[in-house]
Structure 1
């Protein structure tokens, strides 16, 4: 534990009594009395239970904040402020009940009113505050912050409609607002006393004394909403503080009276738009502007909150950087160094050296990608229009940085150009927008201002300093390090897979819930035939649950005794869902060619959202549906092969899919996936992995033995060598009859009702550049899939390997991840 845990706020019996009282009060307030209790609806019960839990958690929150406020300046661990554009929280009620040890109490209360606990839990919508792995990692970290007793705040935005709700029409993705707040959010606590001004546009005023002051043209107010995340083994909680934007000015009353109603409130609508959608489509200028405003709004409100809290507790800005850590979860909050400097210089009157010393102590940065195009850059002209004072400060940070580099590396003008915070527009524009214009490099700002920079898996961190950040690593050789990602076992095993959790409890005890490395005690059980049968019984029950959902939502019957082969993640070319579909097509063709063969039945499940403007990713989703339709309608296949796409992927859907998976598809091109956390969740739940030597797959294979993972494909150095030699994907296809048959079938329109043009762009990409080397890895992927079939036929051998996988997952807890961040980044000793 990093700090002393709070003692439990009340005894367990008192907690149950308090909860029952609060629940009765909430139900009564909703019109449910003892006489009408049996007609209480599941949604009403869910909201009442959430309100009752929130009341208990509110006391824990107050106790936690009070304890953290008196830690004093000599505390060994700094208070962490984790800035992230997304927190993919999922449902909260089940987690709260488990943490409060109130599952049985609520089960009895609901049963008395004719409702089951699972049915009520299903009525809670997923909090639409994130999209993919970045946001779910942040949510796991909040759980570990609480579990480890870390003084902390997570900071994000309060999105009203999430990214989008994904629907499927005629096999095509369609997007709609995810109106998750339509009935309110019983978990959030509005903090009206926490309101901070945030501005945009305007100009910088030079005062008589030479000081500079930003005079924004647009004035917003950020209001805080708190979401409380409880520990499971103490009374500690962590806080997700979300910001909601409002216009500072009321309506234009004169315009309203003239009948110009829209004009009277236009500024209020513009402010409200900051809260509408996570990651606005940046294919338009207005979308890019909105995204930059969201990032600036998050950063400004969060840092103002941090400074106000520090001043309340200490009365001085002295020591702010040594008492507080500001962590940037990727480049989205990379404006933090510039905004912190602005606040310290302009609002609080510190000198440049004082402000920069605080900034460098406080700020740290996690990079999540090796793709240059994914490192945010913004046009200088956009900064000039929206954030003129920040641009001045970035110029000054850059000037001082480049002066230092020039002294250390005299005469290396090319190095200065490469590491400058400003891309002068001489080379490629990584974002694909406005080629040739001057741009601010946000990753560079994050590196220069941070005292520590990390990657999220061993390979990723190694490649990070060898490729995209090689120059910065040369300048700051001690600044870079690795912290491999992890997932919380409370959500991703205890909550998602209660049957497996109970089996582990019975065999090795409950300690793994708090110290995941206790899973090592499963290793000797790999040779236990009875344990293997128990593992398979748990898996089959979970597969039955998923099969029922597939039947209910899609009307598709799947063979529950088939191998459940699963790939769930955002749809992107580098994650290679298309390679998965190509394998399904080749398997289909092989079954049709030999319908009497001894085939291992497979159910292939894919889920994930494609960004609304990502045409290729949306085409992959459509192809998946077209292939699934052809397979399902072919009587020669029977139940030996099914391809299923489950729409609107999110945390709750993942909690149903992951425990049911036999095989986890982690098949990104080597050197492209930073880490992955889905790979960890699957293995923790007893799925074997088929994967490339990429991201955290490598460390997982090393943990439980490479022979226990189905590895395939080119490795990073081979990928680089192949590209340097001149890769010819068309030649690869011509030399592989199985692959050629697959590509020809797509090109002919075999899966698109004869429409040969529908997937022409996909085929041309594969035969032309094939940037992510699907053609090069296809043959080895099929070899590995054949190994999967062979092992799955031997139930005992498969179960033994499952046990070894679970036993090796001890290091992949987010608790271990956070302990490493504390030791190397967030502790006072990390500052030297």
Structure 2
């Protein structure tokens, strides 16, 4: 029988400070929260109860910093970044907050002294899956860096009740399960119902003259939804700044209709509640562009309107006039999802606050900055005019008015250019009429940025070329970055300790200090420790794979990894073609001497994206054949790691030897997984796409495995009528791979299973797998040769980490702050209780 933990401490040694950081105070706080918050004692408490008690203990220590930060911003009317994003993929908070508070080791000791295990408690935390992938994870990194750099900021998004689905596998196919991340509570958030706002939907508009004879418009909505904010503290690294992530939950203004209930309409009595709460019920997967349009548009206007109304509330609370909105707030649009904010701010200023159109437009266009995250035209959101007008009748009128003035501006600069007018209009008139959200974002923002050097260049030359010609001063590049706190310090403690022992710990806040590692490359003992750490991390991941996949992998083999959203342009199936190529070679020559590899995949396919789901089935089917062929043995293993998320990523990045970044050049805006891998010492095989280009420049071409066509070569090949059949016929190894797939060798003899994928490759091959195949195979041969030379490989690994300083999100945010936002940092001093007491007295007197 398992005994309860020994939860006793000596009360005589407890400090008076309720939020003190000594071992004994932490233990007392933990017990208090177990008893008074969870309502449990040890014999009844679960591991999740212990996690919750610890989370509340840590949150209590954030609150003084959080309140001090808010008080300082209010007193100083600090210029604030409002970061609007439909996704925030935050990851588990407990470990990250322990790191940023600087008390990880202390809490670990306190928990151990109470007879518990910190790793077990950390594993209890449900991950809030409030994002599809890179976009939401980037937003989370940026919040971390804004707090660490002491930049006043508010993150605004949606508190999805159900996040991105949990992924399972049945017979090798992806299946989706509901992500009930809130089912056991969320200790990190604080609801703010007193700051709730109302959002209008549907209905119609009425024009009228106000008392002064001015033309005004009144919106009579079909539905009103209440948005309730839930606040989560975002602590900077070992400083006092604690910013806020404010997520909006949709509720009905009245949850129960007694009139309907009394008349016997029991369902109707709660219908409004059900309809309203659907807006924040679920995160919609972003690849299925044909479904859920109305829901996504409703979600976007919901969180955008809530957020802008909240900013106006803050402005007025600080007794600032609305004319100073753009001085108080700079609003960053994270992709096109929040672009409706341009029309919504105009509506709020003109209709709700009576500001003249010209002044409102001046405020609006000086308030917004727009980050573009895609080079794929289908990802630039467009809404059918009819649907848009039915849901947002007033916004459609405002869009038309903005467009009228904007096109006059275009005509003035480019007279007699009808084609340009058609391309740049906010309304796409070719066939079914659409509202172009990227165009609206460009017109209504004072800055437009891409997220990697190549991406920004292609935006200017292609995707947003017309806007670049009209507004060249708006465009700039801000290459993405990731936070080293989560993806090195928390994820890879072994490497962190080695780095701290070798160069000190300043690199955690100044990642460019990793350059100091270069002097250790020639130290044989340092290289040995580096290798041992990588092997230990690989052993940990191998243990995870055995436990969750039932597959035994060799930690001595090369861990070749691709984890990211499953999509044809990301080309997971190119990696599969390489696996089958190696398998075919071994079948032809069982005694062939090859470098043993473990191929690891992870990522989710949007539920309606059938080709992506077929790619997952291809991976798992190839794994079934390769892993069970005695002729292969342990030389090749293939594993699909299900339900890839931030928590799992923290196990994967430290264990990787090779990072696969193989998208077709010109398709990936930036990528951030490539940065996380390289920071942890993985070498990259990749195309000249996204941030790969800059990573290669930083780490050196000799420490990067390059293959494939450039973006310019891709464009030229497609223009010359690319024919994949010619590559198939002329390359014997490629032909053998495809022929075995066609024959059903990896589908239990069923030749039809992968036919849609094979037909797409042989007929049009949109993402040029066949054109890049041979170059990829040759680059992989170089990888194998390099890995066989352990000393060379370790040197390359060290240099990859040492030269990744540019890719910290701290550098990205510092550039945003200096070049776009003009937001100075604000130093936070902790507010003591006496000061808070004085402030309460003053506020009561003012009221």
CA distance in 1: counterparts of 2:29 and 2:298, whole angstroms: 41
Do the aligned residues in 2 keep the contact of 1:280 with 1:288 (CA within 8 Å)?
Answer: no
Alignment CA distance shift 1:347-1:240 (3 Å): same
Q: 1:397 aligns with which of 393, 402, 414?
A: 402
Q: 1:788 aligns with which of 770, 783, 789?
A: 783
Do the aligned residues in 2 keep the contact of 1:219 with 1:249 (CA within 8 Å)?
Answer: no
1:278 alignment partner in structure 2:
283
Q: Which runs of 5+ in 1 are unaligned?
A: 1-9, 427-435
1:573 alignment partner in structure 2:
568
Alignment CA distance shift 1:606-1:619 (3 Å): same
Do the aligned residues in 2 keep the contact of 1:367 with 1:456 (CA within 8 Å)?
Answer: yes
Secondary structure at 1:154 match in 2: strand
In terms of mean alpha carbon deviation, does 87-96 or 586-595 score higher? 586-595
2:833 alignment partner in structure 1:
none
Secondary structure at 1:70 match in 2: helix
Per-residue deviation at 1:286?
6.9
CA distance in 2: counterparts of 1:625 and 1:80, whole angstroms: 44
Per-residue deviation at 1:108?
2.8
1:82 alignment partner in structure 2:
83
1:516 alignment partner in structure 2:
511
CA distance in 2: counterparts of 1:16 and 1:474, whole angstroms: 61
Task: Give every structure 1 segment of 4 or more consecutive aligned residues whose post-TM-superposition deviation is greater than 6 Å.
Answer: none
1:7 alignment partner in structure 2:
none
2:556 alignment partner in structure 1:
561
Per-residue deviation at 1:68?
1.1
CA distance in 1: counterparts of 2:172 and 2:807, whole angstroms: 36
CA distance in 1: counterparts of 2:588 and 2:234, whole angstroms: 54
Question: Are 2:417 and 1:422 equivalent residues in the alignment?
Answer: no
1:777 alignment partner in structure 2:
772
Question: Are 2:287 and 1:292 equivalent residues in the alignment?
Answer: no
CA distance in 1: counterparts of 2:290 and 2:723, whole angstroms: 37
Do the aligned residues in 2 keep the contact of 1:380 with 1:438 (CA within 8 Å)?
Answer: yes
Secondary structure at 2:551 match in 1: coil
Alignment of 1:667-682 (within 5 A): 667-682=662-677
1:118 alignment partner in structure 2:
119
CA distance in 2: counterparts of 1:157 and 1:624, whole angstroms: 34
- RMSD value, Cα: 1.7
CA distance in 2: counterparts of 1:258 and 1:461, whole angstroms: 60
Per-residue deviation at 1:14?
4.9
2:348 alignment partner in structure 1:
343
Do the aligned residues in 1 keep the contact of 2:20 with 2:26 (CA within 8 Å)?
Answer: no
Alignment CA distance shift 1:153-1:16 (3 Å): farther
Alignment CA distance shift 1:281-1:448 (3 Å): closer
Alignment CA distance shift 1:722-1:283 (3 Å): closer
Alignment CA distance shift 1:529-1:297 (3 Å): same
Secondary structure at 1:155 match in 2: strand
1:542 alignment partner in structure 2:
537
CA distance in 1: counterparts of 2:45 and 2:286, whole angstroms: 41
CA distance in 1: counterparts of 2:290 and 2:334, whole angstroms: 25
Q: 1:323 aligns with which of 312, 322, 328?
A: 328
Do the aligned residues in 2 keep the contact of 1:282 with 1:291 (CA within 8 Å)?
Answer: no
In terms of mean alpha carbon deviation, does 252-261 or 612-621 score higher? 252-261
Alignment CA distance shift 1:14-1:716 (3 Å): closer
CA distance in 1: counterparts of 2:526 and 2:763, whole angstroms: 50
1:430 alignment partner in structure 2:
none
- What do the CA deviations read for 1:389-429 (whole angstroms, capped 9, x no partner)? 000000000000001111111111111011000001x2xxx
Per-residue deviation at 1:283?
5.8
- What do the CA deviations read for 1:70-114 (whole angstroms, capped 9, x no partner)? 224xx6xx3000000111111000011122222233223322343
Secondary structure at 2:322 match in 1: coil
Q: Which runs of 5+ in 2 are unaligned?
A: 1-16, 825-847
1:647 alignment partner in structure 2:
642
Per-residue deviation at 1:828?
6.4
- What do the CA deviations read for 1:163-188 (whole angstroms, capped 9, x no partner)? 21111100001111101111111111
1:358 alignment partner in structure 2:
363
CA distance in 2: counterparts of 1:828 and 1:407, whole angstroms: 34
CA distance in 2: counterparts of 1:660 and 1:133, whole angstroms: 20
- What do the CA deviations read for 1:462-498 (whole angstroms, capped 9, x no partner)? 0111001001101111111100000001011000100
In terms of mean alpha carbon deviation, does 328-337 or 248-257 score higher? 248-257
Q: 1:22 aligns with which of 23, 29, 34?
A: 29
CA distance in 1: counterparts of 2:436 and 2:587, whole angstroms: 53
How high is the TM-score relative to the length of structure 2? 0.93
Secondary structure at 1:65 match in 2: helix
CA distance in 2: counterparts of 1:634 and 1:624, whole angstroms: 16
2:624 alignment partner in structure 1:
629
Secondary structure at 2:168 match in 1: strand
Secondary structure at 1:193 match in 2: helix
Question: Are 2:309 and 1:308 equivalent residues in the alignment?
Answer: no
1:189 alignment partner in structure 2:
190
In terms of mean alpha carbon deviation, does 203-212 or 546-555 score higher? 203-212
In terms of mean alpha carbon deviation, does 440-449 or 203-212 score higher? 203-212
1:441 alignment partner in structure 2:
436
CA distance in 1: counterparts of 2:168 and 2:332, whole angstroms: 35
Question: Are 2:263 and 1:264 equivalent residues in the alignment?
Answer: no
Secondary structure at 1:567 match in 2: strand
Do the aligned residues in 2 keep the contact of 1:544 with 1:560 (CA within 8 Å)?
Answer: yes
- What do the CA deviations read for 1:210-264 (whole angstroms, capped 9, x no partner)? 2101111101100000111111221111211000000113322233234432222
Q: 1:60 aligns with which of 65, 72, 78?
A: 65
CA distance in 2: counterparts of 1:765 and 1:261, whole angstroms: 52
1:243 alignment partner in structure 2:
248
Per-residue deviation at 1:39?
6.6
2:708 alignment partner in structure 1:
713
Secondary structure at 1:527 match in 2: coil
How high is the TM-score relative to the length of structure 1? 0.95
Secondary structure at 1:314 match in 2: coil
CA distance in 2: counterparts of 1:504 and 1:30, whole angstroms: 39
2:828 alignment partner in structure 1:
none
CA distance in 2: counterparts of 1:625 and 1:552, whole angstroms: 17
